Amino acid sequence: MKYLACADLHCSKSEEAYSLSVLEEIAAICREEKTDGLLLGGDIFDSFQDAENMRNLFVGLLEKLPENCRVYYIPGNHEELRAAGTLEKFDFGRARLLAAKPYSLESLDVGLELAAIPFQKNYSAYRSWKVPPKGNKKRIVLAHGTVPGIRGYFQEEENPPGVLDEDLFACLEADLAVVGHIHAGYKKQSGDCLIISPGSARVWREGETGSRRAFLIDSGALGRPGEIILASAGQYRIIGVEAFPDCSLGFPEELETGKGLSPPDWLCLKVSGAVEDETEVMKGINKKIEELKKKYRRITLAKEDLFVLKGISTHPLALQFIKKWEESREKYGGEDEEAYRLAKWRGLAKLKEIAEARK
Amino acid sequence: MIETLNLTDFGKFKKRRFDFKPVTLFLGENETGKSTLFDAIFDKICAPKGNSAEGRRLKSRYGETRQAELTGDAPRISESDFLNLYAVKAGSAALEIDNNSEAINIVKASLFSGGIDPKIPADSLIRAVKARGRDSLSEGIKQAEQDIGRLKSDLERDYGIRKNYLFKEAEIKQKDAALEEAEKKIALLEESGAALEKAVKDQRLIKDEKQFTEIISLISDLRRRRENVKKYASYSAETLEKIKNLENAEKDCQNEIDAAAKNLEAALKEAAVKAGEKNALEKEQHKFDRVKILADSLKDRIYPKERLIEKKSVLRINKVFIAIAFLFTALGVFLFFNVPPRISFFVLAGGLVLALAFLICAFRKQTVDDVSRLRGELESLRERWRRETGGELEESYEGILLALENASRDAEFALENYTRSCEAAAAAEEKARALMGQKAQGENRYAGVKRELTGALSRAGVSGATEYAAALARKESETEGCAEIEKKVRLYGGEYGGVSEDALEDALRLKIKNIRETAPPGELTENELRRLEIQLSENRKMIAALQKTRGESISSVSRDRGETHAVFGELPQKITEEEKALGEAEARLGELKREIRASEIAGEIFSSLSEDAGRMLVNLSEEIKTVFSSFTSAGQTKVREVGLKSFSLSDSVTVSDELGTPRDLAHLSAGTRDAFFLAARLILAAKSQGGGKKAPIIFDESFTALDRPRTERALKILEEFRQKTGVQIVIFTKDFDLEEPARAVFGDALGVNRL
């Protein structure tokens, strides 16, 4: 039996087309792989309102799943965000909403069962849950929360879920635990249980670099789930753009050729450099952004490392410094490329500081 | 340029005004106020802070009411720059330059590209790297490392707590399992306890039933006893005694009779025996009589023996002798043939003679007794004896005679025996008769006793004293028993409200009926019941002990669980937050280290640029050399080369002597060294002025060590310097002779103040 597991799709009205395109790809993967089930590990909707407003579209897309493919869906913390009710009152079509707290057990197949743990603020009472022994069966746990020892994106959140201690999985006799909430994918072996997080199924916030994935689980080999990249989710990519003292810009080859980039990508142009005139630089940047917006899903700009140094383009010491810096690439670039690049801005910034102090 | 200086309460100047020109000469002896003027200019241009060393000196020396007013456009410069660079004190031309002083920075700026010595950003960046202050990078790294260390330590501790918690949870789980086990055990024990209790209760009911049955039986027994008591009411000890006596008497009589009967029997037996013996003897006696008569008669026939023996002669042949005779004959014959002939005849004759002798001896006439008659008598006697007695007599006379005598004697004995036997038989008979009489008497007596006894027994209804005694005893015991039973029954009856015995019996029968309906049959023995009760007791003890242990375990588990939950409830969250903080701290550390490395790289790049700028010092050296040379060469000696390695001057200057050998400043003469410092001051002061306001250079008795030619050369250099740079020059001296050359050099630019 095969199951596709994913989480944190964060379907939202503000990014409807994008989030639903990923869901469509998920359904296509299920068709292609002829999966027997789809496990949704929470935060499928970005908020309660999104669940309310988009559930019909969601149900419609689930109809594209193979006929015998059952869908198991646990609510995450986002589904209860600013909730005006409970999800149980909605119909999610083929998706079986497993919202019973603290957990519920579902039989997936002969010899395989699912323990579903929907979002809760506190899981610390897990030892009193009185979970029946699994006997000869294998058990998959589907949960939503943070697991200690797994580092991901620690962003402050509204209504955060509780922490799932690894011992919880041991108490549930889990053979495989699929955990949503942490947007960075990971795998961790904890005793007999493999804990996996698919990560966010789409790029939801800034900084979520890397491919977006889902896990393909074979019931006969729970310890070796396969990873499937969700191409339609794209990636968050930081593209470094150099601003030169004469306000010219250096765009990397990948931006020009599009090599390695895909339309659903979110590109963050990180502009850095010491320039005479920031507005002049921004003209060039904005022009480029307009071009890129036609090709890619989202473009943002970061210019913390861009600063203005009057006379920079003619300042002898600045020019000497830049020249010397470039000549030192071989010497310093190998040990820490980032520090080497940063050295340029720090040197020019220091020069700027001294020059301005002298005025 | 300073135009005027107004002093009020400044040292010895209560109120004094001084005018300044591009070159101002103050002439005055010692204690005329030159130092005061110097201090006043210093006070105005540098404005030292009250708590600085110079500030405190000025305050201490001149007081707080001092006032100095400057007109003109003299810039504000630092104390160190003024004292080290712009003011040349007498006897200390040596120049101590603060490499980071503003003056030197201005010099550097005038020398380097863009006006910024690359060493400045290099040093600034390196300083930032090495800075140890609160907001410094290193402090940030230290803080981040401390945070990381602390967080790691906290994580280690918390993971340790977690591990302990899980271990404790495992223990709690074991305790739970043990509790469950104990609960099961308690349940089992309670179940078995209930069964035991029922069994014991049933047994108690059975026992009660038994008791009730006993009571009922007691009541029956009481009734029976009372019947007996009633039945034996007439029985008394006297009657018993009487009956006993009668029985004893009967017994005695009986004994007597028995004894008499026994004796009689014995006597009769004896009499019978005796009679039998007598009869037997009597029968034999006839026989013995016959035998005696016969034996006597026969004896008479043959006795004496001689009567029957006749004498006769007979020839007796001794066969032995005949044999011997034959033998001798044979011998003689033998010898005859075997001995020499001479003797053979003799031998033969001898033998024959002997043989003959013996032969003769063999035949002998002998008078013998003729016993044929005797033999015939004896034979006849034996025949007769055989016929009459059936016995056999011996062949010999003596034997026969003896046998006859014996037979006669035996007959006599027999007769004696017979007689005795008759007597004995008679006596026995007599005895028997006597005993018979006794017996009869005894029987009579017995009959009488018996009658009496029978009567008494019949009246008592017993068969004997024993029975009477038993009955009497029973009566007594029954009476006693009745009393006891009545007491018991009254006691039991009291439990039922003092009911009557009948009512009590009815009540108990009802209870027995109920018990039999509820309790199962099967009474256990007392030991078995005791064992059951012990089992029940032990069961209860075990339950109590287990419940106590369970209670303690529940408390312990509850306490442990509470403790661990209190600790662990928030622990995963805490660990996650610590990991988050650790991640952030590590990221921060990474950033700081990157910042530091970036700053180091930038600093190194600037430093390398600064090294490139070292050539700037060469230019400076040339300028100083030019001035210096003009002080020292006078056109005749070789230009001295000046080598500056840095701006510190004090330890990085070499000056070549006339022979061109580089020598440290310290190894030069005082005059040459002063000339160098003066040249360096002028150049540095010129370069450090930059644009705008210029600070004056003040010479305080600086030319006292110079001779006249050097003094004039110095003044000329100063004038060139002044004209080139526009820097104001102020000279304090007590050398009034300086005025003349000064006027010659400076012309109208000179202003002279006499103190």
DSSP for B95-133, please give it: ----TTSHHHHHHHHHHSGGG--THHHHHHHHHHHH--S
Which residues of chain A are within 8 Å of residue B612 when distances are taken between CB atoms? 320
Q: Is the dihedral of CA B517, B522, B523, B528 positive or negative?
A: negative
Q: How many other C-beta atoms can be found within 10 angstroms of the C-beta atom of residue B744?
A: 13
For residue A343, list chain B residues with Cβ-Cβ distance below 8 A: 597-602, 605
Q: Of the given ranges (B86-100, B500-514, B564-578, B654-668), which has the lowest mean pLDDT?
A: B86-100
pLDDT > 70: what percent of chain B? 87
Nearest-Cα distance to chain A for B23, in Å, is: 30
A167: closest CA of chain B, how far (Å):
8
CA atoms of B52 and B101, how far apart (whole Å): 17
Nearest to B82 by CA among B689, B749, B739: B689
Q: What is the pLDDT of residue A56?
A: 93
CA–CA distance, A196 with A180 (Å, rounded to integer): 9
**3-class SS at B682?**
helix
Q: Which residue has the higher pLDDT, B474 or B705?
A: B474
Cα separation, B280 vs B288, in Å, equals: 12
pLDDT bin (cut points 50, 70, 90) of residue B583 is confident
Give contacts of B598 with chain A, Cβ < 8 Å: 339-340, 342-343, 345-346
pLDDT value at residue A144: 94
Choose among B568, B595, B608: nearest Cβ to A324: B608
Pair A219, A255 in one domain: no
A27 and A129 part of one domain: yes
Report the pLDDT value the prediction gives residue B636, as an integer from 0 to 100: 43
pLDDT one-digit tens code per residue, B278-336: 887 787 778 888 888 988 988 888 888 888 888 888 788 888 989 998 999 999 898 88
- Contact between A350 and B597 using a beta-carbon 8 Å cutoff: no
User: Which of A60-69, B221-230, B531-540, B669-678 has the lowest average pLDDT?
Assistant: B669-678
Q: Give the residue with greater pLDDT, B4 vs B317.
A: B4
Cβ A151–B575 below 8 Å, yes or no? Answer: no
Instruction: Answer yes or no: is the ipTM higher than 0.90.
Output: no
Could you give the CA distance from residue A231 to residue B353 in angstroms, rounded to a whole number? 184
State the burial class of residue A14 (Cβ atoms within 10 Å of its Cβ: 0-12, 13-18, 19+): exposed
Where is average pLDDT lowest: A11-15, A313-317, B640-644?
Answer: B640-644
pLDDT at B641 over 70: no
Tell me if B576 and A148 make a contact (CB, 8 A cut-off): yes
Which of B125, B572, B608 shows the shortest C-beta gap to A165?
B572
Domain count, chain A: 2
Provide CB contacts within 8 A for A11, sequence distance 6+: A19, A20, A23, A44, A45, A46, A50, A54, A58
Chain A neighbors of B116, CB-CB under 8 A = 317, 351, 354-355, 358
Which residue, among A127, A171, A350, A352, would best test binding to B if mutated, counting the most B CBs under 10 Å from its CB? A350
B471 contacts B194 by C-beta, under 8 angstroms: no
Mean pLDDT computed over B174-183: 86
- Closest listed residue to residue B723, CA positions, set B715, B713, B731, B712: B715
Nearest to B116 among A342, A344, A355 (CB): A355
Query: CB–CB of A346 and B598 under 8 A?
Result: yes
B697/chain A closest Cα distance in angstroms:
24
Q: Which residues of B touch A312 (CB under 8 A)?
A: none
More confident residue, B657 or B149: B149
Q: How many C-beta atoms surround the C-beta of residue B182 within 10 A?
A: 19
**Which residues of chain A neighbour B162 with C-beta distances below 8 Å?**
165, 167
Helix (H) / strand (E) containing B556: helix B526-568
Strand partners, B548: none
Identify the pLDDT of residue B22.
93
The residue type at A178: V
Q: Does B569 contact A at CB distance below 8 Å?
A: yes
pLDDT band at A157 (very low <50, low <70, confident <90, very high): low
* A321-346 average pLDDT score: 85
Please give the pLDDT value at position B633. Answer: 54
What residue in A sits closest to B568 (Cα-Cα)? A124
Residue B665 and residue B683: Cα distance in Å, rounded?
Answer: 17
State how far the Cα of B90 lies from the Cα of B85, in Å rounded to an integer. 13
Quote the radius of gyration of chain A (alpha carbons, Å). Answer: 25
Q: Domain check: are A149 and A191 in the same one?
A: yes
Q: Which of B121, B579, B595 sits opposite A151 (nearest CB)?
A: B579
Whether residue A350 and residue B602 make contact (CB cut-off 8 A), yes or no, is: yes
Nearest chain A Cα distance for residue B12, angstroms: 41
Of A167, A161, A165, give the one whose Cα is nearest residue A150: A165
Q: How far is CA A48 from the centre of its chain?
A: 20
Predicted confidence band at A283 (pLDDT cuts at 50, 70, 90)? very high
Under a CB-based contact definition with an 8 Å cutoff, are residues A115 and A140 in contact?
yes
In this structure, the answer to whether residues A93 and A171 fall within a common structural domain is yes
Q: Using CA atoms, how far apart are residues B751 and B138, in angstroms rounded to an integer? A: 56
Indicate whether A306 and A187 sit together in one domain: no
Nearest-by-CA chain A residue for B612 = A320
Nearest CB among B112, B113, B599 relative to A346 is that of B599
Of the candidates B681, B751, B692, the one whose C-alpha atom is nearest the C-alpha of residue B92 is B681
| Interchain proximity A124–B583, CB inside 8 Å | no
* pLDDT exceeds cutoff 60 at B580: yes
Closest CA in chain B for residue A351? B121
| Shared domain check, A226 and A142 | yes
Residue, of A101 and B616, whose pLDDT is higher:
A101
Smallest CA–CA distance, residue A124 to chain B, in Å, is 5
Given A233, A253, A288, the domain boundary residue is A233
Pick the last residue of a domain from A186, A205, A233. A233
What are B699's strand-pairing partners?
A: B88, B731
**Residues A169, A245: one domain?**
no
Residues of A in contact with B565 (CB under 8 A): 124-125
* Contact list, B158 vs chain A (CB under 8 Å): none
Strand ranges of the sheet holding A95-97, from the earlier edge strand across to the other edge: A95-97, A70-73, A37-40, A2-6, A213-218, A226-229
Q: Looking at this protein, which amino acid is placed at residue B166?
A: L
Q: What is the mean pLDDT of residues B254-265?
A: 81
Average the pLDDT over B390-411 and give the result: 87
Mean pLDDT of chain B: 82
Cα–Cα distance, B274 to B269 (Å, whole number) = 8
Collect all residues of chain B within an 8 Å Cβ-Cβ radius of residue A354: 116, 120-121, 124
With contact defined as beta carbons under 8 Å apart, do B600 and B122 qualify? no
The encoded tokens of residue B336 equal 């005859």
Indicate yes or no: CB of B597 within 8 angstroms of CB of A339.
yes
Judged by CB atoms closer than 8 Å, whether chains meet at A154 and B602 is answered as no
Asked if A207 and A258 sit in the same domain, the reply is: no
Q: How confident is the model at residue B131 (pLDDT cuts 50, 70, 90)?
A: confident
For chain A, list residues whose CB is within 8 angstroms of any CB belonging to chain B.
Answer: 122-125, 127, 146, 148-149, 151, 154, 162-165, 167, 315-318, 320-321, 324-325, 328, 332, 336, 338-340, 342-347, 350-351, 353-355, 358
Nearest 10 degrees: Cα torsion A316, A322, A323, A325: 140
Q: Which residue segment(s) compose the domain that A270 sits in?
A: 236-358
Q: Name chain B contacts of A353, Cβ cutoff 8 Å.
A: 124
Say whether B579 and A127 touch across the interface (CB within 8 A).
Answer: no
Task: Identify all chain A residues contacting B601, using CB atoms and an 8 Å cutoff.
Answer: 328, 332, 339-340, 343, 347
Residue B195 to residues B423, B450, B545: CA-CA distances in angstroms? 96, 69, 19
Is the CB of B568 inside 8 Å of chain A's CB atoms? Answer: yes
**Contact predicate A104/A98, CB 8 Å:** yes
Pairs across A and B, CB distance < 8 A:
112
Mean pLDDT of B127-148: 80
If asked whether residues A210 and A120 sit together in one domain, one would say yes
Domain co-membership, A244 together with A222: no
B48 touching chain A per CB within 8 A: no
Residues in chain A within 8 Å Cβ distance of B573: 162-163
H or E stretch covering B154: helix B137-231
For residue B108, the model assigns a pLDDT of 59
Which token pair is A239? 């593209």
Q: What is the sign of the dihedral through the CA atoms of B328, B329, B332 and B333?
A: negative
Report whether pLDDT(B436) > 80: yes
Kindly list the distances between the CA atom of residue A259 and the CA atoms of A255, A256, A262, A263, B554, in Å, as whole numbers in the listed order.
Answer: 8, 8, 8, 11, 68
Among chain B residues, CA nearest to A350: B121
Contact A316 B113 (CB under 8 A): yes
pLDDT-derived band at B635 (thresholds 50, 70, 90) equals very low
What residues 74-133 of chain B have any CB closer than 8 A to a CB of chain A?
109, 112-116, 118, 120-121, 124-125
Mind telling me how many Å the CA of A153 is from chain B's nearest CA? 9
For B663, counting Cβ atoms within 10 Å of its Cβ (0-12 exposed, 13-18 middle, 19+ buried), the class is middle
pLDDT of B652 > 60? The answer is: no
**Which of A184, A206, A233 corresponds to the end of one domain?**
A233
Q: What is the pLDDT of residue B648?
A: 54
Per-residue pLDDT, averaged over B361-369, amounts to 81
Neighbour count for residue B627 (Cβ, 10 Å): 23
Highest mean pLDDT among A173-177, B430-434, B516-520, B657-661: A173-177
Answer whether B571 touches A (CB < 8 Å).
yes
Q: What is the pLDDT of residues A27-39, one digit of tens each?
A: 999 999 999 999 9
B461: left (phi over 0), alpha (psi -120 to 50) or beta: left
CB B378 within 8 A of CB B395: yes
Residue B121's nearest CA partner among B605, B470, B674 is B605
By Cβ distance, the residue of B570, B573, B605 closest to A321 is B605
Which DSSP helix (H) or strand (E) runs through B689?
helix B670-689
User: In CATH, what number is assigned to the domain containing residue A129?
Assistant: 3.60.21.10
Instruction: Report how far residue A61's alpha carbon sits from residue A19's, in angstroms, rounded to the nearest whole number.
Output: 12
User: Do A224 and A262 reside in the same domain of the chain?
Assistant: no
User: What is the pLDDT at residue A43?
Assistant: 93
Q: How confident is the model at residue B544 (pLDDT cuts 50, 70, 90)?
A: very high
What pLDDT, on a 0 to 100 scale, did the predictor assign at position B112? 57
| Tens digits of residue pLDDT in A63-98 | 999 999 999 999 999 998 777 778 888 999 999 999
User: Looking at residue B637, what is its pLDDT?
Assistant: 45
Q: Taking 70 as the threshold, does the pLDDT of residue B265 lie above it? A: yes
For residues B475 and B228, the answer to whether their CB atoms sit within 8 Å is yes
Residue A42 has pLDDT above 90, yes or no: yes
**Could you say which of A332, A340, A350 has the minimum Cβ distance to residue B121?**
A350
Q: Which of B21-35, B149-163, B602-616, B737-751 has the lowest mean pLDDT?
A: B602-616
Helix axis angle for B465-495 and B137-231, nearest 10°, is: 140
d(CA B27, CA B737): 9
A186 plus A289 within the same structural domain: no
Give me the pLDDT at residue B617, please: 63
